[in-house]
Structure 1
């Protein structure tokens, strides 16, 4: 196996941290971005030059381009781009603040778009590479209380599917990662919630608050195993369009896709009736 160089956003926790640790242990090089550099002091001391770090808030488009350009300039070649930085925002849509909405979309959607846009010319000029876009089964299946999180993930999945086609002629493979619930800090650490509105008490959107606070029901997903599968996917040729991780993710995706197809497949005749 040839050691690669990986550019990963948000390496201080969650999937990004697990991936960074596994790659460094294998002797591969990681260019990681964080909002607070001191959160990586331990790994930096242990792995030295194998770990290249930069401070980055992916909502800052100019900084995204600067950091990506600097990483390619200083490291020479980057084989894999991993868009990992992101977080969940939950609650009834009308209970979310304007600031919460703007920041969620700026982070999960626009931030990921800008990382890919910044990396694309470098990947083209070096003759290829891989992009892993971390999404969620919530990028295909939607539920009450997750409207803005779903908006960010459905949006980035649409963008990424188009990029698969745009970048294929340049030997750049793109994979959407669809994890289910995992035992990271996503739910009990980084997730944000909107205001509790009395009108939604007892409704599906209102119950999301209780779900996020209930620590007795832990996710089934093992983040270590999930990251192992993500890393292994880079060796697949061609790149898988989607990588489903977790039995909950698989079940939710199959259910959502079947229901969407059932909603439209009986409309063939009526759809054609509007043709000129």
Structure 2
């Protein structure tokens, strides 16, 4: 039996993961802004499910909740940074308030949850951290530039952090799902007011897709994706990144191949800007 700490468990991946873990007999410390959303699971699983109210934009609350979770549950094996949401719109369509809240939730909130858990994971001799990212953490999409920014930020943080904490037997994995049939396009997606000049651009095309969602554009099975997340946390050696969904694989593969080809084309220029080697 393992103990998991999961943020953002009211719906989507967080809710599915909580249900699957409880069903297999694990303990779950579930956090969300409205704890009553898990009343049905609490009634069914009792002490197996620990629930706390948490808004990840509140750093003081993060520290208090994590302290309480470790204090009451003891050893926690896996931390799942799942809380977050999408923000849709061209860069200039996004309001300052929308941008600031996105950063506080997706970036600062995720970083602070991880930072708050590290002393406990070190003292207990290790653990796992799963950070929900996205295929948007590896490639850019029009109308998602701000969401891309938030996911690229956590990708850079986790990639460096993995090297900082490996000596303490703490392993980290970035979860990079593609589109999945969850509530992401509903309550978890904020859509900015559009600017007419963008209507006939890629932003306008993306807006039409967002307003008329289709299963054709969301191939990912969220249950299968969550199962893969749990499997990677159970593995002896966790990969730094876990890509989930055919669309994620194709988009990331195309982006990385293009970036690598561009880099190779600049090799001579890169080397030419070094100091000339000193002659013996």
Taking the TM superposition and a 5 Å limit, the aligned residue runs for 1:1-276 are: 3-218=1-216, 219-276=218-275
For 1:241 and 1:223, locate their aligned partners in 2 and report how far apart those are by CA, in whole Å: 21
Report the CA distance between 1:189 and its aligned residue: 2.7
For 1:197 and 1:13, locate their aligned partners in 2 and report how far apart those are by CA, in whole Å: 31
Report the CA distance between 1:207 and its aligned residue: 2.3
For 2:91 and 2:215, locate their aligned partners in 1 and report how far apart those are by CA, in whole Å: 25
Q: Is the 8 A contact 2:5 2:76 kept in 1?
A: yes
Q: Is the 8 A contact 1:188 1:212 kept in 2?
A: no
Tell me which stretches of 4 or more aligned residues in structure 1 moved more than 6 Å.
none
TM-score (normalizing by structure 2):
0.96
User: What residue number does 2:278 align with?
Assistant: none
SS in 2 for 1:92: coil
SS in 2 for 1:189: coil
CA spacing shift, 1:68–1:105, aligned 2, 3 Å: same
Q: Is the 8 A contact 1:91 1:206 kept in 2?
A: no
Gaps spanning 5+ residues in structure 2: where? 276-280
SS in 2 for 1:7: strand
TM-score (normalizing by structure 1):
0.97
Report the CA distance between 1:188 and its aligned residue: 2.5
Report the CA distance between 1:64 and its aligned residue: 0.7
Q: Is the 8 A contact 2:181 2:215 kept in 1?
A: no
For 1:114 and 1:200, locate their aligned partners in 2 and report how far apart those are by CA, in whole Å: 36
Q: Is the 8 A contact 2:176 2:244 kept in 1?
A: yes
How many residues of Structure 1 are paired with residues of Structure 2 in the alignment?
Answer: 274
For 2:105 and 2:59, locate their aligned partners in 1 and report how far apart those are by CA, in whole Å: 10
For 2:182 and 2:21, locate their aligned partners in 1 and report how far apart those are by CA, in whole Å: 18
